């Protein structure tokens, strides 16, 4: 077992000195991967917070009893995931944790808040529009009927993570823009007495357009996760149709798979 230690080198570094790394040198799992996994877990659980410094690779290799190339490979794997960044004159710094969301009927806002991700929302559009064919079919209304369109940019720790586009039946509930920017849509539905019961959902992936990349602080062509969902209340009525895109560098879906008896 290699333990961190030594005096703090920066105001943000003591968080690393509290970590206890368990590196199994007899395991077939590469040491760089073991180190990367444990650092990622510390970031995900908030032990290493955005802004924390890890120190330089030489110091880390000495502290952990690892070769410098091993430490460099571990750090680079987390840089590639967008969890760490190398800053000249500063060192390796925690940027953010990746959002891992379970596939269940829940609000992104509630999930992020529960995970300590400090979500914020900017409402881009909140207006009534005629329903296109796809939207009309999902909500069970006539094509061209009035529906409410919501478009919101969701951030965590001040950085964009998702662009959310939702359609709701006209007159379902009052959608105040200020309130939408301070809470989640599903929370507003529950407050209005709407009981969400089930949903049909499709998850996919594609490349970002120039406009999407600009909004999400990504490069054009960057990988995006997509999600399309139709949610139903406890009477079977469709109450929301959503088409969302997420930065793949900052977001993932978690699945639990069961063997069919």
CATH number at 44 reads 1.10.10.10
Whether residues 112 and 236 share a domain: the answer is yes
Give the count of domains, the chain: 2
Residue 10 has pLDDT above 50, yes or no: no
Q: Is residue 166 a part of any domain in this protein?
A: yes
Q: Is residue 211 a part of any domain in this protein?
A: yes
Q: Is residue 252 a part of any domain in this protein?
A: no
Whether residues 56 and 112 share a domain: the answer is no
Whether residues 165 and 241 share a domain: the answer is yes
Q: Is residue 261 a part of any domain in this protein?
A: no
Determine how many CB atoms are found less than 10 A away from the CB of residue 259: 4
**Residue-number span of the structural domain to which 47 is assigned:** 15-94
**Higher-confidence position of 170 and 65:** 170
Whether residues 122 and 85 share a domain: the answer is no
Whether residues 118 and 83 share a domain: the answer is no
Whether residues 126 and 212 share a domain: the answer is yes
**Higher-confidence position of 94 and 8:** 94
Whether residues 176 and 203 share a domain: the answer is yes
- Give the CATH number, domain containing residue 201: 3.40.1410.10
Whether residues 76 and 124 share a domain: the answer is no
Give the span between the Cα atoms of 15 and 181, in whole angstroms.
32
Using left for φ > 0, alpha for ψ between -120 and 50, and beta otherwise, residue 74 falls in alpha
Residue 239 has pLDDT above 80, yes or no: yes
Residue at a domain's end among 94, 119, 150: 94
Q: Is residue 100 a part of any domain in this protein?
A: no
Q: Is residue 153 a part of any domain in this protein?
A: yes
Q: Is residue 195 a part of any domain in this protein?
A: yes
**pLDDT tens across 89-141, in order?**
667 878 765 555 444 445 555 555 555 556 788 999 999 999 999 999 999 99
Whether residues 218 and 122 share a domain: the answer is yes
* DSSP secondary structure string for all residues of the chain: -EE--S--SSTTTHHHHT-EE---TTSSS-HHHHHHHHHHHHHHTTSS-TT-EEE-HHHHHHHHT--HHHHHHHHHHHHHTTSEEEETTTEEEE--PPEEEESSS--HHHHHHHTT--EEEEEEEEEEEEPPHHHHHHHT--TT-EEEEEEEEEEETTEEEEEEEEEEETTSS---HHHHTTS-HHHHHHHTT--EEEEEEEEEEEEPPHHHHHHHT--TT-EEEEEEEEEEETTS-EEEEEEEEEETTTEEEE-------
Q: Is residue 8 a part of any domain in this protein?
A: no
Whether residues 21 and 137 share a domain: the answer is no
Instruction: Report the mean per-residue pLDDT for the chain.
Output: 79
What is the predicted pLDDT for the residue at 254? Answer: 59
**pLDDT tens across 143-198, in order?**
999 999 999 998 887 788 889 999 999 999 999 999 998 888 888 998 899 988 88
Q: Which of 24-38, 48-62, 224-238 has the lowest mean pLDDT?
A: 48-62
What is the predicted pLDDT for the residue at 18? Answer: 62
């Amino acid at each position: 077992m290699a333990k961190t230690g030594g005096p703090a080198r920066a105001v943000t570094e003591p968080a690393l000195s509290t970590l206890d790394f368990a590196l199994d040198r007899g395991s077939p799992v590469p040491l760089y991967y073991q180190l990367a996994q444990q650092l990622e877990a510390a970031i995900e659980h908030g032990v290493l917070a955005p802004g924390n410094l890890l120190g330089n690779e030489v110091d880390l290799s000495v502290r952990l009893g690892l070769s410098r190339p091993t430490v460099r490979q571990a750090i680079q794997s987390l840089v590639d995931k967008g969890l760490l960044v190398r800053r000249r004159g500063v060192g390796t710094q925690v940027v953010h944790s990746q959002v891992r969301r379970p596939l269940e009927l829940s609000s992104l806002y509630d999930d992020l808040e529960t995970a300590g991700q400090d979500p914020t929302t900017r409402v881009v559009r909140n207006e009534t529009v005629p329903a296109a064919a796809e939207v009309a079919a999902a909500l069970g209304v006539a094509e061209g009927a009035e529906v409410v369109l919501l478009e919101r940019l969701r951030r965590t720790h001040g950085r964009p993570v998702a662009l959310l586009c939702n359609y709701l039946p006209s007159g379902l509930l009052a959608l105040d823009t200020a309130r939408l920017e301070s809470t989640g849509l599903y929370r507003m539905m529950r407050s209005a007495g709407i009981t969400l019961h089930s949903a049909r959902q499709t998850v996919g992936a594609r490349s970002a357009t120039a406009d999407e990349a600009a909004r999400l602080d990504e490069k054009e062509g960057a990988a995006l996760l997509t999600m399309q969902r139709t949610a139903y209340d406890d009477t079977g009525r469709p109450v929301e149709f959503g088409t969302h895109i997420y930065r793949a560098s900052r977001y993932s879906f978690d699945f639990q798979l069961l063997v069919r008896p």
